[in-house]
Chains A and B, each alone.
Chain A
Amino acid sequence: MTYITLLLLASITFTTRYLFLEGKLPIRLGPNIRCLLSFSGPAVLTAIFIPILFIHQQQLDISMSNAYLWGGLAASIAAYKTSSVYWTIALGTGLFLLTGMFF
């Protein structure tokens, strides 16, 4: 049973990734749609990380004791100033752990 579930899961993730790369699909993307899609990267990644920072136990957590917000703030400033993935993760995680211990 586990193996069948596993294979079905694998075909779902593969299909979602591969489907629109298939040339035979009768879809043509006009310039407007292409411009719209150029925003997909930042839009999707933001929609993933914002709830990680702000929502805990199904509730909005905007308080000084939310270490995720401090870490996120440090990471954002580091990303803006350095554009380096290493610095962003190091400084973000650093402040995240520090405030997590403090509060």
Chain B
Amino acid sequence: MIKRQKALLAAVSKGAVDMLPLSLAVLPWGILFGSLAIQRGLSGFEAQLFSALVFGGAVQIVTVELMAENASLVTILFSALIISSRHFLYGLTLREKLRVQPLSWRMSIGFLLTDELFSLSGHPRAYQNKFRLYYALGAGGSFYFAWNTWTAVGIVAGSWLPDLTKLGLDFAIAATFIALVVPEIKHLSTLICVVVSAFFALVFSLFDVAFGLVAAAILGMLAGFFVQKLRSK
């Protein structure tokens, strides 16, 4: 019994260690959000609650800006839905693995299911046994802890930091996602998927298309899918 607990604990820490580079890489964004929230008039407590409950990157930054501009509640919520809608794809992708798990596991993994946790969920047996569930809990939980810690740093530093939004901190996110995508390109189908997604992401972003991110991703997925089908014939 004690042996089993030790093994589960080892799974948790392996998850946290695998997540560590990503937890460190969101440091600039966490600080950006914390300081931005203070500068846009939120209290320290409200800003922290944002990261504790909403637990999103872009969605938090965009909604704080909208709230500061006195945008209507509908606008704020709709923007949040647009930015978060990509998570529907993650949920669908993991559905067959997670739907059979008990409610408490589904709720906790669901709450922690960020881009980062999803990118560590690619293993064929991910979420299939207790150890892999605890592994995901360690990965997602440590990322949650990191995001909230960086937010707190931003809140404390926010009053004396300059406006960080124009400092190019978004490059850290780009570099992180490059690190997650490029090693995944092992087949022609994935390469085509990425190229098509990139092309439409640029077009939709330039023309300000609502749900452009998700639309571009789906077009990329379709392209990858068809290439794979053609090649396996």
Report yes or no: B174 in contact with A39, Cβ–Cβ below 8 A. Answer: no
Task: Considering the complex, give the chain A residue whose CB is closest to the CB of B109.
Answer: A21
Report yes or no: B190 in contact with A39, Cβ–Cβ below 8 A. Answer: yes
For the complex formed, measure the closest distance between the CB of B109 and the CB atoms of chain A, giving whole angstroms: 7
Report yes or no: A89 in contact with B179, Cβ–Cβ below 8 A. Answer: yes
Q: Does B50 make an interface contact (CB < 8 A)? A: yes
Task: Specify the main secondary structure of chain B where it touches its partner.
Answer: helix
Report yes or no: B168 in contact with A88, Cβ–Cβ below 8 A. Answer: no
Contacts of A83 in B (CB 8 A): 183
Number of A residues contacting the other chain (C-beta, 8 Å)? Answer: 66
Q: Does B99 make an interface contact (CB < 8 A)? A: yes
Number of B residues contacting the other chain (C-beta, 8 Å)? Answer: 86
Report yes or no: B25 in contact with A55, Cβ–Cβ below 8 A. Answer: no
Partner of B221, one of A13, A40, A88: A40
Report yes or no: A47 in contact with B92, Cβ–Cβ below 8 A. Answer: no
- Binary contact track B154-171/A, C-beta < 8 Å → 1, others 0: 000000000000001011
| A residues at B contact (CB < 8 Å) | 2-3, 5-10, 12-14, 16-23, 27, 29, 32, 34-55, 58-60, 67-68, 71-72, 75-76, 78-80, 83-86, 88-89, 92-93, 96, 100
Question: Can you spell out 24 A-B residue pairs with CB atoms less than 8 angstroms apart?
Answer: A9-B77, A12-B84, A16-B88, A17-B84, A17-B111, A22-B106, A23-B100, A40-B92, A40-B93, A40-B217, A41-B119, A43-B197, A45-B180, A47-B213, A48-B213, A51-B202, A67-B171, A71-B174, A79-B178, A89-B172, A89-B175, A92-B174, A96-B168, A100-B168
